Amino acid sequence: MNAPARIQRLREEIERHNHAYYVLDAPTVPDAEYDRLFRELQALEARHPECASPDSPTRRVGGQPASQFGAVRHAVPMLSLSNAFDDDDVRGFDRRVREALRASGIDDGGLRYCAELKFDGLAVSLLYENGRFARGATRGDGAVGEDVTGNLRAVRAIPLKLAGPVPRRLEVRGEVLMYHADFERLNQAQNARGEKAFVNPRNAAAGSLRQLDPAVTAHRPLRFFAYGLGEAAPDDGTIPARHSALLDWFAVLGLPVGARRSVCADADGLLAFYRAVGDARASLPYDIDGVVYKVDQRDWHEAIGYVARAPRFAVAHKFPAEEALTELLGVDVQVGRTGVLTPVARLRPVFVGGVTVTNATLHNEDELLRKDLMIGDTVVVRRAGDVIPEVVRALPERRPPSAHRFTMPARCPVCGSSAVRPEGEAAWRCVGGLFCKAQRAQALLHFAQRRAMDIEGLGERIVEQLVERDLVQTPADLYRLDADTLAALDRMGAKSASNLVASIDGSRRPSLARFLFALGIRHVGEEVARVLAAELRDVRTLLAADWTALIAAKAAAQKENARRRARAEALLPVPLEGVGPEIMSSIASFTAEAHNREVIERLLGCGIDVQPEEGAPRNTGAPADGRPGDPNGRSSAAALPGRLAGQTIVVTGTLDGLSRDEAQDLIRRHGGSVAGSVSRRTSYVLAGENAGSKLARATELGVPVIDQKQLLRMIEEDGQDD
């Protein structure tokens, strides 16, 4: 194929892909393939300048920067629309249209309206001459706009050539906007470059379109929707007579149009459309601020006429404002079920998004600093649909001299326990997990679950009632409940109450690992609890341990081992192998809180008899040095006999007929130990279907990978009973 033919074919193919992606929202090729075609076309055009064409997709990447925008006078003014804000306004619009038609001698019995979305973007005009894009302009003041032809040419959603017969001059009007997902990616890129983020998609779209350098616009993810007609000369009968059919015709020509639209016969139909769009608004991929109603019969528009600078044949039915200004009166702190402290803005009441807002989320301390919020500030509040209201930004120019910063509290506002912010995390947390009222229900459910204290029958419905009626304040109070008290709960009969009392009583002899897991210490899952139980031997060692010293000793041992490993020397034992400093810091914070220690003492005092792990001798107190385990650093837990003795195995992925917990129990029963992460000390990685990063890490480190059948073969000659 010769070069001109190949160039033409590439142009047509790329434009088909552009149309599928930007207009139909149905990509036909991967991005890499699109990029390959685009680069091929660029290279061919560079080698054959005689084939240059203003319609080429490569022209969308931008031309020479402009020193300023020229002025464009609109042949047909781009008028604003009058607004409707409630049902009465819409019914009044319908009544006035019908009155105007009858006054002109037109029977309103055939009246129909076209209802469509009101896009929240930047209105533009596209002029096509002989079907080719010739000029683009902003709305401006309605009479004169700015010439942004080069920038609009860079918007891939706008066809440079229309498909099908059209008038010699055809002016299409529509909206340039930005999708939510594209806006988020753009702001992520802005932040990564250290540049200022955009406030919202509309501002981002407007700023992108008004760049003096079209190359900048070409790299911004702009979209376009056509919604109206300006100049058309000569009108040779190809333009449909109804507005709804006009939009269909635009789509045939290759212009993007909004898919959500309807033809309605009266005000009731218009209001039904408005409510349906309102319900779906939050799920739309772009912003809208209302809907637009237009008389569908275009030849009736002149008869209905205009008022001031707005047509009487159309109206914009606006949604309640989603943003409003108000004053930040103060900041309160809420404590969640998991102990997270969340700052909440206390606002001067303001009507926004259809409701009166008095509070809004501030997310975390970093958000307060990032948004530069001070108590006393005038702030922008946003509420969209059912989304929780949020403070978007402050207006520093309105900041009063009395404005002051808010600082997160050092203690939990609910229970008075210490509040800490772990290194590397955004959230502050209350460490009084066993005592804090805000965390009570979550703590009880965790305490009672099957793999913790295994209290069958203590489900969410029962826990909520126990907490609401203040019958249980800490897990220790569960062991003082009687059948009569439980039987008084909703949907709890005498038999169920007796069964629950028996289940609670049957949980009084947990293993140390189960008990430690049940305490709900942050980052202490089942596997970490088993490691702790093997080394600590009893609960009081956990409470007596010097965790600050342990963290320092662990770091020192690891550093020394790194030096010894490089010299192929014998390694030192490392305290609490498998328990990292982050977990140890979490345990330190938990055990340092007096409320938690008090609850643990109450649990031990009400008959909880914690059993040492198998193979670990019972310990009656902390070692003399306050550190857990053997003073030489060896684990006190003797390995179970079995074919997997001395092997550390990581389980990842989905196994066949065996849950991950069951696989881990199987490994332990045959003498192996289970780790949660892959390291050079891992013996094997047991990988099932859809294994992820742990499998990749094993490959990187050269750790042997086995499947379920291989594991079973490894233990099949073991004499232990499975």
Residue 443 corresponds to which tokens in the numbers above? 């703590």
The lowest-confidence range among 205-219, 334-348, 514-528 is: 205-219
Looking at the predicted structure, is the pLDDT value of residue 628 above 50? no
Angle at 133 between CA 130 and CA 134, to 5 degrees: 85
CA distances from 175 to 137, 181, 367, 501, 542 (A): 11, 18, 33, 67, 65
Q: Does domain 82-318 have CATH number 3.30.470.30?
A: yes
Note the pLDDT of residue 640. 39
Residue with tokens 């019914």: 91
As annotated, the residues of the chain forming the CATH 3.40.50.10190 domain(s) are: 639-722
Other beta carbons within 10 angstroms of residue 24's beta carbon come to 12
Residue 384, pLDDT score: 61
List the CATH code of the domain at 639-722. 3.40.50.10190
Task: Give percent of the chain above pLDDT 90.
Answer: 48
Positions of CATH 1.10.150.20 in the chain: 507-638
Nearest-angstrom CA–CA distance, 479 and 160: 77
| Alpha-carbon torsion (275, 280, 281, 284), positive or negative | negative
Q: How many angstroms separate the CA atoms of 225 and 418, rounded?
A: 55
Residue 476: is its pLDDT beyond 70? yes
Q: Are 175 and 78 in contact (CB under 8 A)?
A: no
Does domain 324-417+428-448 fall into CATH 2.40.50.140? yes
pLDDT(626) > 50: no
Residue 27: pLDDT band with limits 50, 70, 90: low
* Alpha-carbon gap, residue 257 to 227, rounded angstroms: 7
Question: Are the beta carbons of 154 and 124 closer than 8 angstroms?
Answer: no
Q: Where in the chain is the domain with CATH 1.10.287.610?
A: 3-61
Domain covering 507-638, topology: DNA polymerase; domain 1 (1.10.150)
Q: State the Cα–Cα distance between residues 602 and 362, nearest whole angstrom.
A: 37
Tell me the mean pLDDT in the region 358-375: 91
- HEC letters along 458-482: CCHHHHHHHHHCCCCCCHHHHHHCC
Least confident of 149-163, 357-371, 584-598, 672-686: 672-686
Q: Which of 82-86, 318-322, 485-489 has the highest mean pLDDT?
A: 485-489
What are 437-455's pLDDT values in tens digits? 999 999 999 999 998 999 9
Question: Residue 403: pLDDT above 90?
Answer: yes
Cβ-based neighbours of 495, under 8 Å, separated by 6 or more: none
State the Cα–Cα distance between residues 388 and 361, nearest whole angstrom: 7
More confidently predicted of 575 and 433:
433
| Run of H or E residues at 206 | helix 201-209
Residue 295 pairs in a beta bridge with: 113
Q: For 382-399, how does the pLDDT look when each residue is reduced to its tens digit (9 = 90+)?
A: 876 556 788 988 999 899
Q: Specify the range with the lowest mean pLDDT, choosing from 43-52, 297-306, 373-382, 600-609.
A: 43-52
> Is residue 65 predicted with pLDDT exceeding 60?
no
Is residue 412 within 8 A of residue 391, CB to CB? The reply is no
Q: What does the alpha-carbon distance between residue 378 and residue 326 come to, in Å, rounded to a whole number?
A: 6
Q: Name residue 83's beta-bridge partners.
A: 316
- Closest by Cα among 231, 250, 233, 234 to 242: 250
DSSP letters along 44-112, please?
Answer: HHHH-GGG--TTSGGGGG--SPPSSPPEEE-SS-----EEE-SHHHHHHHHHHHHHHHHHTT--GGG--
With contact defined as beta carbons under 8 Å apart, do 289 and 90 qualify? Answer: no
Is the pLDDT reported for residue 694 higher than 50?
yes
pLDDT at 161 over 50: yes
Task: Decide if 542 contacts 591 (C-beta within 8 A).
Answer: yes
Catalytic site residue 118? Answer: yes
Residues 304-311: what's their mean pLDDT? 82
Question: 210, 228, 247: which is closest to 80 by C-alpha?
Answer: 228
Q: Which residue spans within 102-204 are E strands per DSSP?
A: 113-119, 122-129, 132-138, 144-146, 169-177
Alpha-carbon distance of 436 to 473, in angstroms, equals 9
Alpha helices in 143-179 (DSSP H): 149-153
Q: Which of 54-68, 226-240, 507-521 reaches the highest mean pLDDT?
A: 507-521
Stronger pLDDT, 68 or 363, i.e. the higher one = 363
Q: Identify the CATH number of the domain defined by range 3-61.
A: 1.10.287.610
Compute the distance between CA of residue 565 and CA of residue 224 in angstroms, rounded to an integer.
62
Lowest mean pLDDT among 116-130, 459-473, 493-507, 565-579: 565-579
Tell me what pLDDT residue 310 has.
82
The predicted structure's pLDDT at residue 713: 84
C-alpha distances out from residue 552 to 126, 381, 557, 572, 626, Å: 69, 47, 9, 15, 14
List every span in the chain annotated with CATH 3.30.470.30.
82-318
How do residues 218-242 score in pLDDT, each as one tens digit? 888 999 999 999 999 887 788 999 9
- DSSP codes, 408-442: --SB-TTT--BEE--TT-S-EEES-TTT-GGGHHH
Give me the sign of the Cα torsion angle 589, 590, 596, 602.
Answer: negative
Are 408 and 419 within 8 A, CB to CB?
yes
Model confidence at 637, in pLDDT bands (50, 70, 90)? very low
Considering only 88-102, 276-290, 508-522, 663-677, which range has the smallest mean pLDDT? Answer: 663-677
**DSSP 3-state assignment of 331?**
strand
CA separation for the pair 280, 260 (Å, rounded): 10
Q: Give CA separation, 377 vs 246, 324, 373, 400, 576, in Å.
A: 49, 14, 7, 7, 50
- Of 85-89, 110-114, 618-622, the poorest mean pLDDT is in 618-622
Cis peptide before 234 (omega within 30 of 0): yes
Q: Helix (H, G, I), strand (E, B), or coil: what is residue 310?
A: strand
**Residue 322 near residue 384, CB atoms below 8 Å:** yes
pLDDT given for residue 716 in this prediction: 72
Catalytic residue, candidates 118, 294, 371, 694: 118
Residue 722: per-residue pLDDT: 44
**What is d(CA 188, CA 184) in angstroms, rounded to the nearest whole number?**
6
Averaged pLDDT score across all residues of the chain: 86
**Are the beta carbons of 347 and 357 closer than 8 angstroms?**
yes
CA distance 281 to 290: 9
